[in-house]
Amino acid sequence: VVVGSDDVVVVKLGGSLITEKDRPETIDENALEAACDTIGAALADGAVAPDRLVLVHGGGSFGHHHASKHGVSTTAGTHDAAAAFEIHGAMARLNHAIVTRLHDRSVPAVPVHPLSTSSRPSGVDRDLDLPTASMATLLAEGFVPVIHGDGVATRGAGITVVSGDELVVEIAERFGADRVGLCSTVPGVLDDEGVIVPEITSFEAVAEYLGGSDATDVSGGMAGKVRELLALSSQAFVFGPDGLDGFLRGDEPGTRIG
């Protein structure tokens, strides 16, 4: 744990929420503006302190479009620098768009790019090395780090994808986060009748409901998210756009995991 506090809050804006997943590099403006409004308001009225909030975002039609075009995933890497730059460039453009909209709401957001700092030094499926000194110092100075799924240098594989979900888990562990929220298009994990499962404590109990993702997604869909969140000691919640405000204010929207 790099910050001596248990009240860091990590929020991920899912790529499927803030982009139009089937149209390459297209932002869902209404959804992104609404999420930024909610975050801006929660900070403005003190529901969350800026030195306690880390934002993460996924790839949607930015990262996933280019990653799948080049056959790059969390387990399949590339040694083609141009391909890696396309994936990273798209994610950096999305990140820029988000940070800009947060600044419009006076959120002191700053970009953090995993490709520049992180790696899998022991290869695919091994631990992600995510240096946290810069994010810890940014938080201490009152900035809101905005980090994203990206390409990362991977021993023996070139550059692979790191998903926003993996970053959420890593950041939550390293910062001893109190609460983690994944905001996506669905209001929680749904059972086979479309009803929100209020709480998940084991993967087996819900495995039958967790199908694949609805559009190009190179990093695992809901099943992967649930597995990673179950492994975490922080309180984790999966919720839709209507749950974001409540989550930031301490409520327990959607599905609680773990």
Quick one: which of 218, 229, 248, 257 contacts ligand IP8 (CB under 6 A)?
A: 218
- Minimum CB distance to ligand IP8 smaller for 216 or for 235: 216
- The reply on whether position 219 binds ligand IP8 by CB under 6 A is yes
We find the least distance from the C-beta atom of residue 217 to ligand IP8, in angstroms, to be 6
Q: Does 149 bind ligand IP8 (CB under 6 A)?
A: yes
Tell which one of 10, 13, 15, 222 touches ligand IP8 (CB under 6 A).
15
- Per CB under 6 A, the list member of 17, 18, 38, 58 interacting with ligand IP8 is 58
Q: Which residues 6+ apart lie within 8 Å of 30 measured at CB?
A: none
Residue in 40, 164, 241, 254 binding ligand IP8, rule: CB under 6 A: 164
State how far the Cα of 41 lies from the Cα of 65, in Å rounded to an integer: 32
Compare residues 3 and 94 and give the one whose CB is closer to ligand IP8.
Answer: 94
Q: Which residues contact 67 (CB under 8 A, 6 or more apart)?
A: 59, 73, 87, 161, 218
183 contributes a contact to ligand IP8 by CB under 6 A: no
Nearer to ligand IP8, 19 or 234 (CB): 19
Q: Is 254 in the site for ligand IP8 (CB under 6 A)?
A: no
H helix or E strand, kind and range, residue 145: strand 144-148
C-alpha pair distances (Å), 62 with each of 100, 224, 227: 17, 20, 24
Instruction: Check if the beta carbon of residue 240 is closer than 8 Å to that of residue 188.
Output: yes
Instruction: Please say whether the beta carbons of 57 and 148 come within 8 A.
Output: yes
Among 42, 91, 98, 238, binds ligand IP8 (CB under 6 A): 91
Answer yes or no whether residue 181 interacts with ligand IP8 by CB under 6 A: no
Contact call for residue 179 and ligand IP8 (CB under 6 A): no
H helices within 108-192, ranges in order?
114-117, 133-140, 164-174
Binding of residue 165 to ligand IP8 (CB under 6 A): yes
Q: How many residues bind ligand IP8 (CB under 6 A)?
A: 16
Q: What tokens appear for 256 in the block?
A: 């609680």
- The C-alpha atoms of residue 95 and residue 166 are separated, in whole angstroms, by 17
- Residues 214 and 13: their CA atoms lie apart, in Å, by 17
Amino acid at 75: T
Tell me: does residue 67 bind ligand IP8 (CB under 6 A).
Answer: yes
Binding site for ligand IP8 (CB under 6 A): 15, 58-59, 63-64, 67, 87, 91, 149-150, 161, 163-165, 218-219
